[in-house]
Amino acid sequence: MSAPTAARDVLADVDPDVLARSEAALATVGLDPLGLDTTASFEVRDPATEEVIARPADYTPDEALIALDRADRAGAAWARTTARHRSDVLHRAYDLIIEQRDRLALVITREMGKPLAEAYGEVQYAADYVRWYAEEAVRPAGNYRESPRGGSTILTSRAPVGTALLITPWNFPMAMATRKIAPAIAVGCGAVVKPAALTPLTTLVVAEIFVQAGVPEELVQVVTTSKASPLSTALLADPRVRKVSFTGSTGVGSTLLALAAQHVVKSSMELGGNAPLLVFDDADLERAVEGALVAKLRNGGQSCVAANRILVQDGIADAFVEGFTERMSQVVMGNPLGDVQLGPVIDDRAVANFRGWVDDAVARGAELRTGGSAPDRPGHFFEATVLDRVPESAAIAQEEIFGPIASIARFTTEDEGVARANSTPFGLASYIFTADVDRALDVADRLDAGMVGINHGIVSNVAAPFGGIKASGLGREGSSEGLEEYQEIRFYNVARRG
Ligand code: SIN
C-alpha cells in the first residue's frame, strides 16, 4: 500500500548545539508553580523521541482550589488598577517574550514537536496577542445613548467578569495561552490556567514572564495536572469562577458547558472543526496549491482550522492533485529541532488513527498519491500523505484528521461543492479558492463557518474574531470581540430634566 515519498530519513541530524540549548531551556522551567512542595508529578515526553523531558507537579482538585483562592483575591485588587497600568504591564510582557523567544521556541518544540521554525512563528503569534490586548486595554469600554422617547440618558460600561478558568490545548501551547490570559489581564480578571497534560511547560514559562513584566504573582495561577476532569469539576463547582474559556474537543466542551451551567458561568468554547477547502475551476492553480499546502500542513495538520476536506471542482482537479501531490511529496520530515517541515504528531494514538483511516479509505476506493506510512522508529511520525477521490463513506471524510493527511474529493457544480462543505455538524473554518470575486463572497455567505479564508490558506490573525458556529463552539477569541468575553455590560439609566 506504500506509495513513493521523498521524505528524508526521519533520523535527520540534529545540531548538538541546538539540542543542548533546548536542554538548557527545559532546565529553566519551574515545575511546582503553586509552590506547594507537591510530591506527585507526571511525565512530559518529547514526541520526537518519546523520552521524558520533565516531571511537573500533578496537582489535585484541592490544590487547584488553593490556586483559585489566590487568583480570586489578586483579581479583586487587579480590577482596581488603571487601564493604563495594565496596558503598560502587557507591553512589558510583549518585550520580554520577544527577548526570550529562543527559550520559548525551544520549549515548545521539545514538548509539542512542531518544527523549530514554526515554534518561532508561534512565539511571535502568541506575543502579538499580548501586544494587541496591551493596546485594547486602554480603548473606551462604554458608550452614551439617548432614550428614543427622551427623559433619560443611558450610559453603558464594561466591568471585568471575575475570575476565569482557562483550559488550553496542546497544539498551540503558547498562542492559546496568551490568547486567553492577555485579555483577562487587560480587563482586570484573575485566572487559573490549566494547560494540557501533554504540553504544560510552555505555559509555565509564559506565566513566569508575566510576573517578570509586573503581573502580581498570584493573579495568574498555572495548575498542571494529569487529571483534567476532576480538577475542572471542582473548579466549576466553586461560585468564584465566573468565566470559563476552553479550546479542545466538542465532547469535552459540552461537558464543561454542563458544569458551567451550575453557576451560570460565562463560557467561551473553541471546539472541533472539519474545515472544507474548496478549489473552483477558475482558481489560480499555484495559489490554490500553496494555500492548500499551508492550510493542511501548518502545525503538521494539528490545528482545528486545518483543511480537513479538500474539495476540488472537476475542471481543475487533475492539475491541482498533481501539483499538490508534488509539493506534499517534497516535505522533509524529521526531528523538529532540525531543518524540517514536518515533525512528529502528538502521540501514538494519532498515528494508529492515521494508519486505520488511510487503510479504510484505500479499501473504499481512494487513491493513495504519496505517503501513507509511519516509519518504524521511536517518536510519533507519519508521512505527509495525499489521498485522492476519497468517497464520502470513508471514515477520513467524516473525522477531524488532526494530522498531515490530505483527503481530496471532487465536485461538479457550485451548489454541490457548498452542500458537501456544509454537510457536517461543525462550522469553524473554511477556505475558498476562486478568481471570481462575486463567487467568493456568495459562497462565503453560504458556508456554515465562523471564519472563511478567501484565496488564503490561513485565517488566524490577532485582529480577527477567531471562533466557530454549530458544534464548533461559542464566543470569539482575539480582536476586540475577544476582550468582551472577559467583561460584563452594565448600564445606568439616568433621568433627565423635562
Ligand atoms: C487551534 O488550532 O486551536 C488554533 C489555531 C490558530 O489560532 O490558528
Instruction: Please provide the size of the chain in residues.
Output: 498
User: Each residue of 140-160: b (16+ CB within 10 Å) or e?
Assistant: ebeeeeeeeeeeeeeeeebeb
Q: Whose CA is nearest to atom 8 of ligand 1?
A: 460
Q: What is the pLDDT of residue 275?
A: 98
Q: 171 in ligand 1 pocket by Cβ < 6 Å? A: yes
With DSSP H G I counted as helix, E B as strand and the rest as coil, what are the percentages for the chain, rounded to 5?
40, 20, 40
pLDDT band of residue 493 (cuts 50, 70, 90) is very high
What is the Å distance from ligand 1's center to 67 Cα? Answer: 27
Q: Whose CA is nearest to atom 3 of ligand 1?
A: 304
Q: What is the pLDDT of residues 439-462, one digit of tens each?
A: 999 999 999 999 999 999 999 999
Q: Whose CA is nearest to atom 6 of ligand 1?
A: 460
Q: Which residue has the cell 472577559?
A: 486
Give the position, in ligand 1's atom list, of the atom nearest the Cα of 273: 2
For 183, residues 6+ apart whose C-beta sits below 8 A from its C-beta are 133, 136, 477, 482, 483, 485, 486
Q: What is the pLDDT of residues 233-279, one digit of tens each?
A: 999 999 999 999 999 999 999 999 999 999 999 999 999 999 999 99
Q: 275 in ligand 1 pocket by Cβ < 6 Å? A: no
- Residue 270 is a catalytic residue: yes
What is the Å distance from ligand 1's center to 467 Cα? Answer: 9
Give the position, in ligand 1's atom list, of the atom nearest the Cα of 175: 7
Distances (CA, A) of 74 to 167, 217, 318: 19, 8, 60
Average pLDDT over residues 346-360: 97
- Residue 189 is a catalytic residue: no
Confidence check: pLDDT of 2 > 70? no
Instruction: For a ligand 1 pocket test, name from 299, 460, 476, 479 the mutation site with the most ligand atoms within 8 angstroms of its C-beta.
Output: 460
Q: What is the pLDDT of residue 13?
A: 67
3-state secondary structure of 239: coil
pLDDT band of residue 39 (cuts 50, 70, 90) is confident
Strand locations in 296-421, DSSP E? Answer: 307-313, 367-370, 385-388, 405-411
Q: What is the pLDDT of residues 70-109, one digit of tens each?
A: 999 999 999 999 999 999 999 999 999 999 999 999 999 9
What is the Å distance from ligand 1's center to 477 Cα? Answer: 10
Average pLDDT over residues 201-228: 98
Q: 303 in ligand 1 pocket by Cβ < 6 Å? A: yes
Q: 299 in ligand 1 pocket by Cβ < 6 Å? A: no
Instruction: For a ligand 1 pocket test, name from 166, 305, 466 the mutation site with the most ligand atoms within 8 angstroms of its C-beta.
Output: 305
Q: What is the pLDDT of residue 19?
A: 94
Question: Mean pLDDT over all residues of the chain?
Answer: 96
Q: 308 in ligand 1 pocket by Cβ < 6 Å? A: no
Instruction: For a ligand 1 pocket test, name from 112, 466, 476, 477 the mutation site with the most ligand atoms within 8 angstroms of its C-beta.
Output: 466
Q: What is the pLDDT of residue 376?
A: 87
Q: Which residue has the cell 498570584?
A: 218
Give the active site residue among 111, 122, 304, 477: 304
Q: 460 in ligand 1 pocket by Cβ < 6 Å? A: yes
What is the Å distance from ligand 1's center to 367 Cα? Answer: 29
Give the position, in ligand 1's atom list, of the atom nearest the Cα of 305: 2
> Can you tell me the distance from the alpha carbon of 389 to that of 405, in angstroms, rounded to the nearest whole number?
14
Confidence check: pLDDT of 5 > 90? no
Query: 288: closest CA among 485, 496, 404, 435?
Result: 435
Give the active site residue among 218, 270, 477, 484: 270
Q: Whose CA is nearest to atom 7 of ligand 1?
A: 460
What is the Å distance from ligand 1's center to 305 Cα? Answer: 6
Domains within the chain, CATH numbers bracketed:
31-271+472-491 (3.40.605.10), 275-461 (3.40.309.10)
Average pLDDT over residues 216-232: 98
What is the Å distance from ligand 1's center to 470 Cα? Answer: 17
Confidence check: pLDDT of 1 > 50? no
**H runs (alpha helix) in 137-200:** 175-187
Give the rounded percent of residues in the chain with a pLDDT score beyond 90: 95
pTM: 0.96
Confidence check: pLDDT of 35 > 70? yes
What is the Å distance from ligand 1's center to 302 Cα? Answer: 9
Q: What is the pLDDT of residues 129-154, one digit of tens each?
A: 999 999 999 997 889 999 999 999 99
Average pLDDT over residues 276-283: 98
Pick left, alpha or beta for residue 467 (phi over 0 → left; psi -120 to 50 → alpha; otherwise beta). Answer: left
Q: What is the pLDDT of residue 8?
A: 40
Q: 472 in ligand 1 pocket by Cβ < 6 Å? A: no
What is the Å distance from ligand 1's center to 38 Cα? Answer: 32
User: Which grid coordinates are listed for 379?
Assistant: 517518536
Q: What is the pLDDT of residue 14?
A: 87
Average pLDDT over residues 285-296: 98
